[in-house]
Structure formats: structure tokens, C-alpha cells
Amino acid sequence: MKSVYMTRVLRVARFEFLRFFKWKQELLTIGLMGGGFILAMLWPFIMGLFESEQRIAVIAEGELPRAQQVEFVRMYSADRERILQSLGDEWDGLLEVEGYDLTLQVEKSASWQDQVRPVLTDWMQQRKLESLELTQEQRDFYTEDVDIHMVYTSRLEEEDAAAAEEERRGRGLITGGILLLLFIGVMNGFGLLMSAITQEKQQRVTEQLLTLLHPQEWMDGKILGVTMHSVKSMLITALLLLLLMNGMHMIVAGGMLSIPLSLIILLNSIVFLLLGLLLVNSFLAGFAATIDDPNHSSRSIVMFIPMLPVIVSLSIIGSADSGLAVFLSLFPLTSFAAMPIRVAEVGVPWWQWLIALGLMLATLYWARKLAARLFRLGITMYGKEPSWKDIWRVIANT
């Protein structure tokens, strides 16, 4: 009996996956994203070809400021009116110094002014220091950068401090990437399940199929097939993001990007993200089955509720050992987003991991049962949507 159930579920899952998997569209998407990746890598060079140098007249004594793509030219007060009349044409700006006040006159606001402001601030600070008649040694003392010597007591070697900082930045990339991929997977399942189930209800296709399949087999296959499609979208996005980040890192810093992704973090993320997608898609499938027309139903907004765990889990990035993070990583409706973050950032006791996994599996089992019962309720009420009272009765009896 189980073999018949699995055969039917896998057949439906394969149908649902291939229903939305179009080779030409996938290749077109990969091609467009690959083109975007190449364009992003070449963008700094393209920008360099079209960037023009700004010319700023400076009415001041002493050394002139220096900035890339900006030419500062010393002028005199006698030329002031002529320069103001030619702003936007011969000159891009006029910089005047009165005491320790700076005035930069330009024709209109532009992005290059954001780059010039910090340069002028440093330039004025240097002029103030020079007015104090300090020795060169005293100037160096006041202007040198403050180096914070970090020591991590959890590390055996003091030299590991730099490595710890590098790991922390790498973990930030991992946790941000996990939530981004989860967001893509949830939105993908939301769109596919909403369109597939509501269209089938409107076209009265489901009733014919249910003469051959049990509602549980139909819903399990549909949830599994859409989840496979969501995983496919997440894998493609992860691969392209990895290529993009490595390309940008090679341009900015040189060399490949180092990400501290251990086997434990990878396997844990796969387990919880996969179970989380199955859980979310179970809720989405069951609730979509209660909607007749997504264009006019007020319940469509409820379909966005599965995004809440992803949004809430953003708050524990950087504080994965807090009480809130522990609760979210154990609660079965949020653990699929919070547990991968905790494991990647601070590690998790084995018993907490087992509790979270057990609660997740139990909730998933209940959710797929609920989805099938809501689906059965939806198809038996032709012409109207089940009321909230009907839905709650099914939830309470599942």
C-alpha cells in the first residue's frame, strides 16, 4: 500500500515540477543573470570610460585639496564673478575659504559632490592643525589612526584575532545568504501554489483527478513538486550570487572570496531549509485550496504570513545567542529560518538541535494532514469559499 502511495505522490510531484520547469525559460533566465554578472564585473571599467573630471576653482591660500576625478585649480578673488557666471560650463564649482568656514557653490546637485565633501572636511581639519604651529611629530600623533587591539579569550592564540574577525564577516555573508535564499524559496512556492490550485479549482479539473487519487496523495505530490521547483530556484540563485560576489571581490580586493562554510553549517542549513519549505508550502497549499478567485478574495493577503518567520529572523543576526534567538530556533514555525542562523553564528547544543528537528518534523506531519483536509473542504464547497469558522473547525480537528 505504501509503495502505491509513494508511486502516486512521486508521479504528481514530477508532474508539478515539470509543469513549471521550462528549459527555454530557465536557460533565458540563466543567460540574463550571467549577462548581468558580466556587466557587473565590467561596470567599473565602463564607468571609468564615461566619467569626466570635475573642475573646481579654489580661492584660498596654501596647499589645495586632492581627490580622484576632481581637479582643484587655484584662482583669485578678482576672478570670482567670472567663475560664478561660468558654473556648469567652464567650471563645476567654486570653493571659497573664510577663516575655518568652507563654501562650495555649484550649479546643481550631483553625485560627485558626495565624494568631494569628506575630502574637503579632511582638508580643513589639516589646515586647522597647521594653524596650531605643532611640530611634525605632534601632528602625526594627533592624526594617526587609533588601532584597537582585539583579544578573544575563547581563542588560544592571540594571533587568531584577525582570523576571528574574518570569520565573523564571513558568517554575516552566510546568514544573509540563507535568509535571502529562503525568501526566494517561499515567494516561489507562494506564487506557484496560488496559481496552480486556484486555477484547477476554477477549471473543475481537481474533481476528475480525485476519482483516481486520494486528496492526501494529491496534496503531498503537489507540495513536493513545488518544493523541488523552489529548491531549484534557490540553487540557481545561490550559484549566481556566489559568482557575483567572487567577481566583485576579485575586482576590489583581488583573489577569491573566503567564506567559512563548514560541512556542519552546510548540512544543517540544507536540512532546515528543506523541511521549512515543505512546511511553508503545506500551509500555502492548504490555504490556497480555500480560495476560489485570488483576484477578488480578501484572503490572499494571508498567504504572505509565511514570510513573517524570515522577517523576524533578521532581528537575530548578530545576536544569535540571545533568549529570543533560542526561542525562535526551537519554535517549529520559525526554526527553519532561525536555526541555520544560530548554527552558523554561535553553534547550538545538540539537544536543542534535536528538539527543534523533532518539533519541525511533527509540525510538518500535522501541516500536510491539515493541507489535505482543507483541500477536501475547498473542493466540496462549489461556488463559495469556506468561512473562517469552517477553516478553524478543520484546524481544530486535525
Averaged pLDDT of the chain: 81
Q: Which fold has domain 54-138?
A: D-Maltodextrin-Binding Protein; domain 2 (3.40.190)
Q: What is the mean pLDDT of residues 19-46?
A: 75
Task: Give the pLDDT score at 143.
Answer: 76
| CA nearest to 381, candidates 397, 367, 394 | 394
| Partner residues linked to 73 by β-bridges | 57
Residue type, 167: E
Query: In the structure, what pLDDT confidence band is assigned to residue 255 with cuts at 50, 70 and 90?
Result: low
CA dist., res. 128 & res. 223, Å (int): 68
pLDDT at 208 over 80: no
Query: In the structure, what pLDDT confidence band is assigned to residue 382 with cuts at 50, 70 and 90?
Result: low
DSSP codes of every residue in 72-121: EEE--GGGHHHHHHTBTTTBSEEEEEETTEEEEE-SS--THHHHHHHHHH
Q: What is the mean pLDDT of residues 377-395?
A: 77
CA dist., res. 83 & res. 94, Å (int): 7
Query: In the structure, what pLDDT confidence band is assigned to residue 303 with cuts at 50, 70 and 90?
Result: low
Q: What is the mean pLDDT of residues 187-205?
A: 79
pLDDT at 383 over 70: no
pLDDT at 356 over 90: yes
Q: What is the mean pLDDT of residues 296-318?
A: 75
Task: Give the pLDDT score at 298.
Answer: 63
Residues of the chain with CATH 3.40.190.10: 54-138
CA dist., res. 241 & res. 33, Å (int): 10
Task: Give the pLDDT score at 254.
Answer: 63
**Contacts of 137-145 spanning 24+ positions with Cβ under 8 A:** none
pLDDT tens by residue, 123-178 = 988 888 888 877 878 877 877 777 777 777 766 655 566 676 777 777 777 888 88
Q: Is 204 left (phi over 0), alpha (psi -120 to 50) or beta?
A: left
